[in-house]
Chains A and B, each alone.
Chain A
Amino acid sequence: MAPLSIIGKPLAMTDSPAKVTGFGKYADDLSVPGMLVGKILHSPHAHARIRSIQAAKALAMPEVKAVATGQDTRIPYGILPIGHDERALALDKVRYIGDNVAAVAATTEQAAERALDLLEVDYEVLPAWFDPLESMKAAAAWIHDEKPNNIEKEYHHEFGDLAKGFGEAAFVREERYFAGEVNHAAMEPHATLALWEPDGRLTVHSSTQVPYYLHRTIAEVCEMPMSRIRVIKPLVGGGFGGKSEVIPLEVIAPVLAVKAKRPVKITYTREEVFLAHRGRPITIVELKMGITREGKISAVAARVVQDGGAYCGYGPVTVLYSGALLGAIYDISNVRYDGFRVLTNKPACGAMRGHGTVNVRFAFESMLDALACDAGLDPAEVRRRNLLKAPCITVNGLRVTSYGLPECIEKVVERSGWAQKKGQLPKGRGIGVACSHYVSGAANPIIRSNMPHTTVNIKVDRDAAVTVYTGASEIGQGSDTMHVQIAAEILGIRPGRVHLVAADTELTPVDLGSYSSRVTFMAGNACLAAAQKIRDQIFAAVAKKFGCDAARLEARDDSIFAKDDPRLRIGFDDAVVLAIDFHGALVAQGSYTPPEESRGGKHKGAGVGPSPSYSYSAQVAEVSVDTETGQVTVERIVAAHDCGKALNPVTVDGQVIGSVYMGLGQAVQEEMVWENGRLMNPSLLEYRIPSTLETPLIESIIVESEDPEGPFGAKEAGEGSLAATIPAVANAIYDAVGVRLNTLPITPEKVLAALREKEKQERARNGAKGGAR
């Protein structure tokens, strides 16, 4: 294959001029004449029946142009076809403090706030559930009538022979792990602007990762055909899953716009972002694992309870990911998984970077570290002894096509100085290792259909500009730039020649969305296919002109030439003119559907977990612990991520480092704090994402296993590294001060308590032996 000229080289993101000059528009930056401000009335009760809503006083205000209630949003929706249990505005019941009860559109923000105060809602308060383990036992007052015992979903999987597996183990551990609740905290709060066009069409600009699902949902709830609705994604200031399903304001704004017959913009406050939530749930993991004397994992069993909050959302998918990717990172033949997704009267949880794989990975990699210790083996070596050999199919039916984990482990062991440091750093300083993996998109779509997962159109016309139309959503991860690079590489032109039109349902074909890290693999492949077709059309015309076979041609540096005869050369612009003389405007379409063989098994819930390919990550964290305060300072994290092929090393590094940063936050300082269903810290002051002064040196190492099916061999880079960070830090703390924390976040208080407990036990042991040895 000819050497690549653009793929694999650093390239500034194509939208960076807009971002660094401040001229790029995010949803709240948009403004149109006559625009009204929309505000939402939130429920003060965790669980209550709505008896009545009186809006007369609010409607009497001259500034108020529309009021909406659940009567205007009667049709329920949800991201999963099996989970249409929420309404944009609650109809009969509210199910969490912060649930959406009514909304107003007024000429000013102040008037809208005053109007909210004038709405009179009569509630009948109901008993509420806040603890997932209690909620699962609920005999009555269920949150959803159709979900007895407040269990949204449960799954039970068993592969291989657990009894035999545990029987083979020389060391077995059984522990309980707890992960606190975390939020994406994307810097841009959600915002939606809905315009009611005079011809009865609705245009909705929204900060979303999933314009297509939003398009469908607005159509369903507003009872309008999709063909009369246009959804446009502006610049999005981060998503991380918090915008990967329809969020209530995205439906409320259109509903108000239709009622008021005027544009309506709703922008969430930061508090409302927390109340809309859809973050990572409180998770209790009861894990049992056995390893042989040689360190081979012989069996693993996990019982997982996820506190999903008040609505279904992605819930079943989250709890399935916990099982599907629990053991599939290594070669393990005996795996049992029991997963429970439970409802409580709190904001609903959803997909957050790494999804359901993160909290189980914390448990698994922490326990593996402990077992390695029990066996007197080096933890990095134990991982080496459990590696898969690709290509293969895991015991739970996941097809692995490329597997760069061995190289990831070697690279971080080397770069971190593992061998010199492990167990040898001064007391209070330690080093820990962990691994993780993730999907490059889900092989099975959320909504069952034969439609390709992505389609990309490309047009080239007489001006020789190349326009790529993609439905894929740029959310800061580099989606736009990826398309430009691929098209430019295939067509042999400068990236600056490629113009991208993205995420506008009127102009761009359907892409399922920016979630489960599917965009590079799927939209990239679609773009590649479309670009190849355009190239073929151009080559056909050039071949005819040169009188040669098209197979002799190559495109590079804005020219097309015969590989074996450089005198046969034509500039790209002229080649395009030639081709258009034959065809008219050049148009091509590429699409991508995951192959049948990648779609996994047939057991209940088998649809979640399979992917066309998986990324892998290995990390080493180095920490120092102040044993008097319990404060953990993470000094350095080295992360190696197998992304198949780094299409753009700058953006890949950025994604890996960003994933590690988010894992670090969850590991040591982020947590949503609840008091009886009331969120105590709905702010960036009290929900503590790390500032520059807590974030250590994070180093990204790119590993390229060159996946046979990825575009140029590429796999995902945006999520897979998050999960390993958490246990790497926990394991490093053990190396530093000899205590294992099984509860997240690992706060100084918990470390101090663990150190004191350890000291107490040591004194008791020494005392029992009749004095210190």
Chain B
Amino acid sequence: MSLPETRVLRPKTVEEAVRILAENGPDAMILAGGTDVVPNLQMKLFSPRALVDIKPIRALRGIAVEDSGTLRIGALTTLTEIAESPLLAAKYPVLSSAVGTIAGPLQRNMGTIGGNLCLETRCRWYNQSYFWRKSLGGCLKKDGPVCHVAPGGSRCWAVWSGDSAPAFLTLDAEIEIMGAKGARRIPLKDFYRNDGIDRIALRSDELLVAVRVPPQSAGRRGVYHKLRLRNSIDYPLAGVAVSMDVDAARVCRSARVAVTGVNPAPLLVPQAGEWLVGRKCSPELIERVAHAAIQTGKPLTTSASTPVYRRDMLRLFTRRALEQAWNARNDLPVSPAAD
């Protein structure tokens, strides 16, 4: 399966990259690790005129804690670096937990956190070869008039299939974006538009530069549970990230729950924080939040496994993650889930 003809440009600085993106507009695609973009190119889902290889931009790599206590991870930091970082395992366990489940070790060696936060949405009617899609007349997301998941409607239901985004959402993360008009920062939760086609709030002249986690999120207990049919390689069929601050009396001081793999965006469960704060752990409370999780996560038939099962697991994993986070000892990072 050949790649479409395209120029490959290799800027050495962020400024150069932005200039190239601005010049080419929607005809340019950013290339980092390539594990998402390249297979999509082979399937002829995109035919850019320019691939902008940003790997040479050293400034975009690295995990650092600023003086303010803010964690800053450069967009080109590989998933392996993140999964293996002792700092992150100790202080931001939900991140290690989540990123360690992405695909397999070789994909993690190439994949970057920026790439994972900007993943193209996925659907079994979309992630197919040119022949396959052409034989069907395309779909709403690509070359066709109809969404095969919900043919009666006019929305695209392609699913957000990244594991790191929900973890970052539970840490109140922010992202740094650089564009032709300069730098901007937005909360990560505002980056996702919950639309299968128009998935992220990133203009064609813009580049994700770093992800930031505020000081108050450091040390939160956290864990990520991922539903997949194999224990490696696979995208999430459902995923739940939980981060929590619990005091010595085991009272919850802050909590966030985010779900992925079930909607066109990773989403925070809105009620989780307010319901859990100031309370002690109880099965009823956990069940209430788990139930809220499946009001937030609404899987359709976009992948293997039925929506019913994925919803069931979303609820179960929310329960398990909350129990683990609440009951963990303060001095131990919660172990990443292998579901």
Contact = CB atoms under 8 A, between A and B. Distances in A.
A680 interface: yes
B150 interface: no
Which one of B5, B306, B309 has the greatest number of beta carbons of chain A within 10 Å? Answer: B309
Interface string A629-657: 10100000000000000000000000000
Contact of A113 (B2, B230, B312): B2
A110 interface: yes
B48 to A, nearest CB: 16
Contacts of B316: 628-629
Given A97-B135, A271-B132, A690-B230, A680 B124 contact: yes
Contact of B232 (A43, A628, A693): A693
A681 interface: yes
B134 A673 contact: no
B248 interface: no
Contacts of A678: 132, 135-136
Given A109-B2, A110-B2, A113-B2, A693 B309 contact: no
A42 B230 CA distance: 31
**Chain B contact surface mostly:** loop
Contact of B312 (A44, A680, A681, A752): A752
A749 B232 contact: no
Q: How large is the interface on B (under 10, 10 to 19, 20 to 34, 35 or more residues)?
A: 20 to 34
B84 interface: no
B233 A691 contact: yes
Given A110-B2, A686-B124, A749-B306, A669 B230 contact: yes
A577 B81 CA distance: 66
A691 B231 contact: yes
B148 to A, nearest CB: 9
Contacts of B312: 752
A692 interface: yes
B234 A685 contact: yes
Contacts of A673: 304
B129 interface: yes
B333 to A, nearest CB: 21
Interface string A80-124: 000000000000000001000000000011100100000000000
Contacts of A45: 135
A271 B129 contact: yes
Contacts of A691: 104, 230-233
B309 A688 contact: no
B249 interface: no
Nearest to B305: A749
A694 interface: yes
**Chain A contact surface mostly:** loop
A629 B2 CA distance: 41
A713 interface: no
A631 B229 CA distance: 9
Interface string B123-156: 0100011111011100000000000000000000
Interface string B22-41: 00000000000000000000
Nearest to B308: A749
A686 B135 contact: no
A593 interface: no
A71 interface: no
A45 B136 CA distance: 9
Contacts of A42: 131, 135
Contacts of A16: none
Interface string B302-339: 00111001001100100000000000000000000001
Contacts of A694: 230-231
A681 B230 contact: no
Given A110-B2, A269-B1, A629 B313 contact: yes
Nearest to B130: A113
A693 B136 contact: no
Interface string B216-257: 000000000000011111100000000000000000000000
A45 B1 CA distance: 21
Interface string B3-22: 00100000000000000000
Contacts of B229: 669, 688, 747-748
Which one of B130, B134, B230 has the greatest number of beta carbons of chain A within 10 Å? Answer: B230
A682 B230 contact: no
10 contacts: A44-B131, A44-B134, A110-B2, A113-B1, A629-B316, A669-B229, A678-B135, A688-B230, A747-B229, A748-B309
Q: Which 5 A-B pairs have CB atoms at the shortest separation, nearest pair first?
A: A44-B135, A693-B231, A110-B2, A749-B309, A691-B232
Interface of A: 42-45, 97, 108-110, 113, 269, 271, 628-629, 631, 669, 673, 678, 680-682, 685-686, 688, 690-694, 747-749, 752
Given A44-B131, A749-B305, A752-B312, 7 more contacts: A44-B136, A97-B135, A269-B1, A271-B129, A629-B339, A693-B232, A747-B305
